[in-house]
């Protein structure tokens, strides 16, 4: 069953889309280019209908050819042995900063295997304080929730509704964490939220980042961690969004290479990850009271000097050298500038963003109007699609649950199987975002425990327990998405 029809058949969003296209000069590009680009750039896709851009962007033929030219046009050896490879890595480091509208003067880039490793490194090396608080949004990815394991060893952690975090309404979270103590105002506190939810596409008001950093909220001072893994796909400006720490995965932006991401750190927050920082130290200083933290681990290339016969070692003073363990994915890193250049030749940054937004809006409006013959709606859609400011608050993602004509829930596993039969690639489940599932499906902690006891585990196809949805169907859109779904 088609969720929406081929352009330009009538739909409730036709006038909205036409106005949008005229304003952005998108309509002419869409009509003249999109199908030609798909046939030329996505031959490898075959007849697959791809609706999982939140999982990974689609790499184009032009991007792979650009990488081929790089690898065959010169020799890239291990950077520890080859100065040219090292120079390529450093150029790509500058490129990443430029892509996010900052420079080495204000930020540093630590290359990782992806956003998850970036978060692991942050948690492992962050200067957690005994009376500090780690506060995270309810729509946080599991990899962000994993930071509780570090925070709980020193201070405390609490959860808050994502929109409330963006509105700085943190008093409730402070009470959850046990109230305020005189030492709390001086403690090092960390707040984390997604720039865009990978579950629903919900985007908080990121002006809160600067406000949180500028002053006390909830009686505490905050350092801000931005999970930008999903947001970076449609653009991230760290000059406008001055998070202390931001994590990204490049395959979500380019599709290729996989296994490559970054932890981007503000220079004025870098001391909080340095091996010489002291646990429990005031936020404003690298030193202060507290014991010098023992480095939990270091890898090859991270030390300036070391003895195998004693515990003596000297960390490298450069943060990226200290945290980048072993040999980097130097060939993938060198390919990053060419990936973006190839992508921009296909469509400029703003056009890619507006295109994904337009297709998602069309999908939402057409899906919302679908009803059974008895008048009951086919679906319930989550996110900020109904908001007046939807274009600011909603990313190109459609998260929904489906119902039969009698109102009973359709298991997402059935939707997944039927989609596969039709070569439609979409995602189902909770998408490593338990808080969003609990929020939108009204699941308590007791419900989660009960579902697990009933056999429900993360990543399976068990879409119903006791007649209740356990996850959602997620459709997500990007550059090569079209207004036609076969």
Query: Half-sphere exposure of 316 toward its Cβ, with a 13 Å CA cutoff?
Result: 15
From 360, 430, 432, 437, the catalytic residue: 432
The Cα 366–Cα 362 span in angstroms is: 6
Residue 332's nearest CA partner among 95, 81, 42, 51 is 95
Residue 127's nearest CA partner among 150, 109, 156 is 150
The SS3 call for residue 474 is strand
The Cα 449–Cα 73 span in angstroms is: 55
Query: Half-sphere exposure of 83 toward its Cβ, with a 13 Å CA cutoff?
Result: 0
The backbone torsions φ and ψ at residue 200, rounded to the nearest 5 degrees and listed phi first, read: -110, -15
The Cα 476–Cα 303 span in angstroms is: 43
Under a CB-based contact definition with an 8 Å cutoff, are residues 299 and 110 in contact? Answer: no
Contacts of 397 (CB under 8 A, 6+ apart): 54, 196, 197, 198, 199, 200, 201, 230, 360, 383, 474, 475, 476, 477
Q: What is the DSSP string of 19-49?
A: HHHHHHTHHHHHHHHHHHHHHHH-GGGTT-E
Is 153 among the catalytic positions?
A: no
Q: What is the CA radius of gyration of the chain?
A: 24
The SS3 call for residue 417 is helix
Residues known to be catalytic: 432
């Amino acid at each position: 069953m088609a969720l929406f029809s081929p352009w330009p058949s009538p739909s409730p969003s036709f006038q909205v889309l036409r106005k949008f296209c005229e304003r952005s000069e998108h309509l002419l590009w869409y009509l003249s280019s999109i199908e030609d680009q798909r046939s030329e750039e996505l031959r490898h896709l075959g007849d697959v209908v791809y609706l999982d851009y939140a999982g990974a962007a689609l790499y184009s033929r032009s991007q792979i050819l650009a990488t081929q030219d790089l690898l065959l046009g010169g020799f890239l050896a291990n950077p520890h042995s080859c100065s040219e490879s090292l120079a390529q890595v450093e150029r790509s480091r500058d490129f990443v900063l430029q892509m996010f509208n900052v420079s080495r003067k204000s930020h540093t880039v630590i290359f990782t295997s992806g956003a998850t490793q970036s978060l692991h490194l942050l948690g492992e090396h962050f200067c957690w304080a005994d009376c500090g608080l780690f506060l995270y949004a309810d729509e946080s990815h599991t990899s962000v929730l994993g930071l509780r394991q570090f925070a709980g060893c020193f201070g405390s952690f609490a959860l808050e509704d994502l929109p409330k975090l963006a509105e700085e309404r943190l008093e409730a979270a402070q009470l959850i964490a046990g109230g305020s103590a005189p030492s709390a105002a001086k403690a090092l506190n960390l707040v984390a939220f997604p720039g865009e939810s990978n579950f629903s596409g919900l985007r908080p008001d990121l002006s809160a980042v600067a406000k949180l950093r500028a002053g006390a909220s909830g009686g505490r001072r905050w350092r801000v961690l931005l999970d930008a893994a999903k947001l970076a796909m449609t653009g991230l400006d760290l000059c406008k969004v001055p998070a202390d720490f931001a994590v990204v995965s490049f395959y979500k932006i380019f599709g290729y290479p996989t296994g490559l991401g970054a932890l981007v750190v503000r220079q004025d927050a870098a001391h909080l990850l340095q091996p010489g920082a002291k646990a429990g130290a005031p936020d404003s200083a690298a030193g202060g009271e507290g014991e010098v933290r023992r480095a939990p681990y270091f890898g090859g290339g991270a030390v300036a000097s070391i003895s195998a016969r004693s515990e003596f070692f000297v960390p490298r003073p450069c943060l990226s050298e200290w945290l980048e363990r072993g040999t980097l994915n130097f060939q993938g890193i060198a390919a990053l500038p060419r990936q973006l250049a190839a992508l921009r030749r296909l469509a400029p940054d703003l056009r890619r963003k507006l295109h994904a937004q337009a297709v998602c809006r069309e999908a939402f409006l057409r899906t919302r109007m679908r009803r059974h013959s008895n008048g009951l709606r086919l679906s319930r859609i989550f996110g900020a699609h109904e908001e007046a400011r939807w274009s600011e608050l909603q990313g190109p993602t459609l998260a929904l649950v489906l119902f039969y004509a009698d109102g009973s829930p359709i298991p997402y596993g059935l939707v997944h199987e039927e989609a596969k039969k039709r070569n439609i690639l979409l995602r189902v489940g909770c998408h490593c975002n338990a808080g969003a599932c609990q929020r939108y499906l009204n699941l308590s902690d007791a419900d989660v425990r009960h579902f697990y006891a009933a056999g429900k585990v993360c990543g399976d196809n068990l879409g119903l327990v006791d007649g209740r949805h356990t996850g959602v169907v997620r459709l997500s859109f990007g550059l090569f998405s079209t207004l036609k779904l076969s």
